[in-house]
Structure 1
Amino acid sequence: MSARPRLSQAAVEDRRQDVLRYVAERGEIRIDALAAHFGLSLMTMHRDLDDLAGRGLLRKERGRAVAFPALTMETATRFRVDANREVKEALCAAAAERVRPGSTVLIDDSTTLYPLADALAGVEGMRVVTNSVGLAQRLSSAGAADVTLLGGQYRGDFHSCTGPEVTRALSRIRADLALMSATAVHDGRLYHPLPEFVEVKEAMLAAAASSLLLADHTKFGRTATYCYGDAAAYEAVLTDTGTDAAETAAVRELGVPVTAVPVRL
């Protein structure tokens, strides 16, 4: 009997994200049942769960895998950073083509925008202003020469800063372009579960001459507690081909062009 081929690290991470989503949908589940569902040995299942628990993505309790509360999972960076990586990379590559050399760019704290660090590496003379500690670190590692991190109240779950210090700093900036995302988009309206992040997004929109919204298909058809306007505030919306047609039609009815970016899987 031949041994199964060894999976790449990327394939293992994809499987672990599938496990995380499955646990999140159920709240909790026995580890042996989870292993049976995914066709894995109990040893491999424990290894996957140990990795996810070590990253603070779920808990292991007496033979069970237990999810964190839904609001935490929808918003905290550690849950979102590895989700839909290929889609995020495609959206960011498309957005980077619209950034001109020498421009000042505002980028918010969404993990959708993390791949911009590599996508923008070759843009000469660009200045980036962001409230995202994670993105600032990635930009620095990618060799971006001019990065300004907006300081304020540090939010550990989101690895970013909010508060009046951030919004005051943005009121003194005039940027060429804002690249932003949204937690939820429904019928062209934009939503976020936390008001302090809404304030930062609104301040970035006010500080930029133009703006692009990057949102993959999982963001559409959903709502959250706080609505902060609609897609008409943006010059264009970039999404992927998996987004529901009715949702993209609602955005276009606001007079906003929508680009469906193809994704290589």
Structure 2
Amino acid sequence: MAAKARLSQAGVEQRRQAVLRYVADHGALRIDALADRFDVSLMTMHRDLDDLAARHLLRKERGRAVAFPALTMETATRFREGAGLAAKTALCAAVAGRITPGSTVLMDDSTTLYPLAGLLARRDPADGITVLTNSVGLAQRLGAVPGVDVTLLGGRYHGEFNSCTGPEVGGALARLHADLVLTSATAVLDGRLFHPLREYVEVKEAMLAAAEEAVLLVDHAKFGKRATYAYGTAARYGTVVTDTATPAGEVAALRATGAAVQVVRSKP
């Protein structure tokens, strides 16, 4: 029997993300069953699970892999960053025009907003945009864009999410006034918004209170789910931007809250 071709590092990571999703769907699975499911040796599956556990994406217990509580793994930056990039880029392109010259913009730690850095880099540096964010990753990307002045809202740093929360962030936001806030949501169901971690809900709410206008960017993958903490409905946002793959019933539920909904098409 011919030996299997050795996967590239990208191929290994693709398999590990598939393992992660499979465990998340089932809650807990025996490691030998996972090895059979993904047609790899028991040693290879142990390596995959050790890597995912080290990144705080699941728990590895005696003989089995266990998913974190609902949706927690979806909040981890390392998992989210490369997911749904085409849809995220389309959403950012739809809202980039709302960022006017001289404006002050709040942005949360959503990786949905990462493509904005490339879009803003195409603009005239004389526009003089100010961005305040609790996301280290977003601050790094926007900090390299000419004409964008970035303030990182520091507090308790969460390495797995590469962002900050806590009273320091909330206190800073209470003293600010922004023209626009751009955020996303981890889960949306029937027009209601959810997040698995309370401290991130607190940051989102403080940002909403500090801004004149609010826009929610949420791609189709976030719909039809709940998480531990509900924080109101889409009515808290003047506009919700989503993509064409979002179920029609969920789009109707967003509109029923009174929010204006913009549906955009993403390139494959």
Question: TM-score over 0.5 for the alignment?
Answer: yes
Structure 1 counterpart of 2:225: 222
CA shift in 2, pair 1:71/1:230, >3 Å: closer
Q: Which amino acid aligns with 1:244?
A: P
Structure 1 counterpart of 2:119: 119
CA contact (8 A) 1:17 1:82 kept: no
CA contact (8 A) 2:58 2:73 kept: no
- Per-residue CA deviations over 1:88-107 (Å, capped at 9, x if unaligned) read 22222222233222221110
SS at match of 2:254: helix
Q: Which amino acid aligns with 1:79?
A: F
CA contact (8 A) 2:105 2:130 kept: yes
CA shift in 2, pair 1:90/1:6, >3 Å: farther
Of 126, 134, 153 in structure 2, the residue corresponding to residue 150 of structure 1 is 153
Q: Which amino acid aligns with 2:115?
A: P
CA contact (8 A) 1:183 1:192 kept: yes
Q: Which amino acid aligns with 1:264?
A: K
Structure 1 counterpart of 2:91: 91
CA shift in 2, pair 1:263/1:34, >3 Å: farther
For 1:6 and 1:144, the matched residues in 2 are separated by 45
SS at match of 2:98: coil
Give the fraction of aligned pairs with identical amino acids, expressed as a percent.
68
CA shift in 2, pair 1:198/1:59, >3 Å: closer
SS at match of 2:214: strand
CA shift in 2, pair 1:26/1:111, >3 Å: same
SS at match of 1:102: coil
1:159 and 2:162 matched? yes
- Per-residue CA deviations over 1:234-259 (Å, capped at 9, x if unaligned) read 12111121212111111112332212
Q: CA deviation at 1:264?
A: 2.1
Q: Which amino acid aligns with 1:72?
A: T
For 1:225 and 1:27, the matched residues in 2 are separated by 16
Of 238, 242, 263 in structure 2, the residue corresponding to residue 260 of structure 1 is 263
CA shift in 2, pair 1:63/1:119, >3 Å: farther
CA shift in 2, pair 1:146/1:241, >3 Å: same
Structure 2 counterpart of 1:133: 136
CA contact (8 A) 2:192 2:230 kept: yes
For 2:4 and 2:198, the matched residues in 1 are separated by 49
Q: How many residues align?
A: 265
Q: Which amino acid aligns with 1:77?
A: T
For 1:182 and 1:41, the matched residues in 2 are separated by 37
CA shift in 2, pair 1:257/1:12, >3 Å: farther
- Per-residue CA deviations over 1:37-57 (Å, capped at 9, x if unaligned) read 446688876776565455443
SS at match of 2:73: helix
CA RMSD of aligned residues (A): 3.1
CA shift in 2, pair 1:240/1:5, >3 Å: farther
For 2:257 and 2:17, the matched residues in 1 are separated by 35
CA shift in 2, pair 1:117/1:16, >3 Å: farther
SS at match of 1:259: strand
CA contact (8 A) 1:57 1:78 kept: no
Alignment of 1:1-265 (within 5 A): 13-29=13-29, 33-34=33-34, 36-38=36-38, 52=52, 55-58=55-58, 65-70=65-70, 72-123=72-123, 124=125, 125-143=128-146, 145-265=148-268
The answer for unaligned runs of 5 or more in structure 1 is: none
CA shift in 2, pair 1:10/1:213, >3 Å: farther
The answer for unaligned runs of 5 or more in structure 2 is: none
Q: Using structure 2 for the length normalisation, give the TM-score.
A: 0.81
CA contact (8 A) 1:237 1:256 kept: yes
CA contact (8 A) 1:56 1:78 kept: no
CA shift in 2, pair 1:43/1:218, >3 Å: same
For 1:194 and 1:93, the matched residues in 2 are separated by 28
- Per-residue CA deviations over 1:139-169 (Å, capped at 9, x if unaligned) read 2245564100112222333222222222222
